Each structure stands twice: as C-alpha cells, then as structure tokens.
C-alpha cells in the first residue's frame, strides 16, 4: 500500500497555530526570575545555562533570557496575562509592589464581552498587562 501523495506546498493552506514559547530579554536573569516567580506567581519550570529561566504560562512556555548582544538589551514582548477578576489581581500585585502604568480599564466592548486591561512594568522595565474578558448580557 502506498501513502497518499502530498499536494505541493504552494497549494496547501498554511497558518501558524498556538504559540509554544515567548522569550523576554532581561538584563538580570536572577532578579527577573524572582519577580515572575515570587511577585507575579508564574509557575517556575527550570533554569538552563547560559542565563535562561523558563516558566509555564497556562501551557505557553515563557523564557527569560539575558541579551546575547548589546543591541538586544531592550527588546521585549508584551505579555498579556489572563486573569479572572482584574480588580482583585491588580490590587494583589500593587500590594506586592508592582508598578502599574494604569488602573484596570475597558478597552473594547463587544456584544458578548468587554475587554479590560491594566499595564504594568516588571523589574527589568518591560511592559506587560493583566487582561480579562468579562461576559456581558
């Protein structure tokens, strides 16, 4: 029995799927690891040389790593952390010393939900956000 022929690549639909890992460049991996693990409460997975720490963000792996060159020292991704109860999450992190850019606020209203965000800085100066989609109706 012969396997079915695979259509040529140009005729197959293409689309990227789920994100497996996000990397955030940091200056001080130990300080960043403590912030994400101890302040934000992101589950820590493991450390690896040279200067990398890995976390589990609900099935997506987060890599904190030192810049490989001076030009990469300020590159970052914005992480949007899904929460249930953005006001409570905001209050908890403020109590833990997290510096927020703004209070939780609605940024979008759809027929069936509202999207709320609150931006904050990690200890490395990267901007991230709390995010909640609140059902309406």
- Give pLDDT tens digits for 14-30: 676 777 889 898 889 99
Residue 46 has pLDDT above 90, yes or no: yes
**Domains plus CATH for the chain?**
20-71 (3.10.180.10), 78-137 (3.10.180.10)
Is omega for the bond preceding 47 within 30 degrees of 0, making it cis? no
- The radius of gyration of the chain from alpha carbons, rounded to an integer in Å, stands at 19
Spatial neighbors of 129 by CB under 8 A, at least 6 apart, are 78, 79, 80, 81, 117, 118, 119, 120
Sign of the four-CA dihedral 99, 101, 106, 107: negative
Separation between Cα atoms, residue 113 and residue 108, nearest integer Å: 8
Query: Residues 109-114: what's their mean pLDDT?
Result: 90
- Residue 133 to residues 10, 76, 78, 102: CA-CA distances in angstroms? 37, 24, 18, 17
Residue 13 has pLDDT above 80, yes or no: no
């Amino acid at each position: 029995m012969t396997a079915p022929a695979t259509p040529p690549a140009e005729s197959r639909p293409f689309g990227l799927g789920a994100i497996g890992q996000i990397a955030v460049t940091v200056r001080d991996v130990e300080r960043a690891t403590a912030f994400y693990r101890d302040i934000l409460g992101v589950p820590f997975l493991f450390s690896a040389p040279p200067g990398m720490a890995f976390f589990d963000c609900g099935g997506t792996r987060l890599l904190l790593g030192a810049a490989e060159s001076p030009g990469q020292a300020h590159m970052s991704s914005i992480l949007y952390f899904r929460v249930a109860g953005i006001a409570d999450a905001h209050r908890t992190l403020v109590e833990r010393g997290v510096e927020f850019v703004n209070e939780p606020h609605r940024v979008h209203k759809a027929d069936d939900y509202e999207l709320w965000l609150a931006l904050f800085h990690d200890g490395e100066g990267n901007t991230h956000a709390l995010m909640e989609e609140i059902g309406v109706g």
